[in-house]
């Protein structure tokens, strides 16, 4: 399909004819030869004297060539372009952050897999999270790990392969032995500030109680709610343990409730796998579809044709003049 960027340019097509028809001819004063007995010669020849004028006569070739060149120039000015078939692209309308607890208690080997073997908590979590991340093609994701402090491992990106690689390189204790849930939420809020997407989802996984945050987890949750962040909390570990090794179920439930999110408890890999499937149901991925048609400009074609017509016409006129002089 051919379209024109400036179709109004075709209004200029009759312009040369309008100028020829309505604009007075250009006049110049030139020296004249005084002819003796002019009146007697005119009288004998029975002619009527008039103002002197020399009118250049154009050949049919010049008229046709000039008309074609003008039409081609007007077409070029109108910017013709070829429109390709519509192409639709989809991009995620959701940004998602994973905040993973890697405090010292995540080294406990009480997480069971499908074969009922005990795994390190972080290793079991990592296997399930890896599959979850790999299935998020098109989503923008970020990874935060936290212990005594929270660290942004990867900013929001569609490169889920990088998220998986960074997750595989994460080890227990890299961020310190304690648990800073509030700081992890605060860092997530700052990370979401670079996002212009409305649906903002934080999945926070922890096996302990907050003992190291500079900001209370509940206060951080209130700020997250004001920023439009929905928090899904996942508890792993032992709620009946003592001290810092006891997962603070009540706090994680309160964080989720304050942000209109959901709370889950995972005792093993199978339960954690189901939790991530449930999160997909509760917060389905939104997409934005954009359609565009590729455009290929064609204005150079009429310009090239006009150039060849002009060169060919000049060459033909020169050849005809040369032959006439030789004759």
pLDDT at 303: 93
Summarize pLDDT for 155-204 with one digit per residue, the tens: 998 888 899 999 999 999 899 988 999 999 999 999 999 887 878 899 99
pLDDT at 62: 86
Summarize pLDDT for 138-161 with one digit per residue, the tens: 678 999 999 999 999 999 988 888
Q: Which of 79-83, 177-181, 242-246, 255-259 has the lowest mean pLDDT?
A: 242-246
pLDDT at 198: 78
The strand ranges marked E within 247-316 are 263-266, 287-292, 295-297
For the chain, give the mean pLDDT: 84
Rounded Cα distance between 59 and 66, Å, is: 11
Burial of 283 (0-12, 13-18, 19+ CB in 10 A): middle
The strand ranges marked E within 11-139 are 80-83, 87-92, 94-101, 111-112, 118-119
If phi > 0 it is left, if psi is from -120 to 50 it is alpha, else beta; for residue 203 that is beta
pTM: 0.63
Work out the number of other CB atoms within 10 angstroms of the CB of residue 116: 7
Mean pLDDT across 6-20: 90
Of 244 and 210, the one with more pLDDT: 210
Q: Smallest Cα–Cα separation from 245: which of 110, 155, 140, 90?
A: 110
Q: Which of 4-18, 69-83, 100-114, 239-253 has the lowest mean pLDDT?
A: 239-253
Distance of CA 168 to the CA centre of its chain: 30
DSSP class per residue in 132-171: HHHT-TT-EEEEEEESSSEEEEEEEES-HHHHHHHHHT--
Q: Smallest Cα–Cα separation from 172: which of 136, 200, 131, 208?
A: 208
Mean pLDDT across 85-94: 67
131 sits in which H/E element = helix 121-134
Checking if the pLDDT of 56 tops 70, the result is no
pLDDT at 215: 87
pLDDT band (50, 70, 90) for residue 234: very high
Rounded Cα distance between 176 and 212, Å, is: 10
pLDDT band (50, 70, 90) for residue 307: very high
């Amino acid at each position: 399909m051919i379209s024109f960027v400036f179709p109004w340019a075709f209004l200029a097509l009759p312009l040369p004819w309008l100028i020829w028809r309505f604009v007075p001819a250009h006049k110049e004063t030139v020296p004249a030869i005084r002819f003796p007995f002019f009146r007697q010669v005119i009288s004998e020849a029975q002619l009527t004297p008039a103002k002197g004028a020399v009118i250049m006569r154009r050949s049919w070739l010049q008229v046709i060539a000039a008309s074609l060149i003008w039409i081609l120039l007007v077409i070029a000015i109108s910017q013709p372009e070829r429109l390709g078939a519509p192409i639709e692209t989809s991009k995620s309308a959701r940004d998602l952050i994973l905040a993973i607890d890697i405090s010292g208690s995540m080294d406990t080997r009480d997480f069971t897999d499908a074969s009922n073997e005990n795994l390190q908590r972080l290793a079991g979590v990592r296997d399930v999270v890896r599959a979850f991340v790999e299935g998020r093609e098109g989503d923008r994701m970020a990874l935060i790990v936290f212990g005594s402090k929270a660290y942004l491992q990867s900013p929001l990106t569609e490169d889920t392969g990088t998220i998986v690689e960074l997750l595989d390189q994460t080890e227990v204790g890299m961020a310190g032995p304690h648990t800073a849930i509030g700081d992890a939420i605060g860092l997530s809020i700052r990370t979401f500030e670079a996002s212009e997407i409305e649906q903002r989802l934080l999945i926070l996984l922890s096996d302990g109680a907050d003992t190291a945050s500079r900001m209370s987890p509940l206060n951080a949750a209130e700020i997250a709610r004001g920023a439009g962040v929905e928090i899904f909390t996942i508890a792993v570990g032992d709620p009946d343990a003592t001290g810092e090794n006891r997962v603070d179920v009540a706090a994680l439930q309160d964080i989720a409730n304050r942000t209109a999110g959901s709370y889950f408890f995972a005792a093993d890999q199978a339960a954690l796998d189901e939790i991530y499937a449930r999160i997909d149901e509760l917060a389905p991925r939104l997409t934005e579809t954009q359609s565009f048609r590729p455009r290929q400009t064609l204005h150079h074609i009429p310009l090239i044709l006009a150039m060849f017509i002009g060169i060919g016409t000049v060459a033909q006129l020169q050849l005809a003049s040369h032959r006439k002089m030789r004759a």
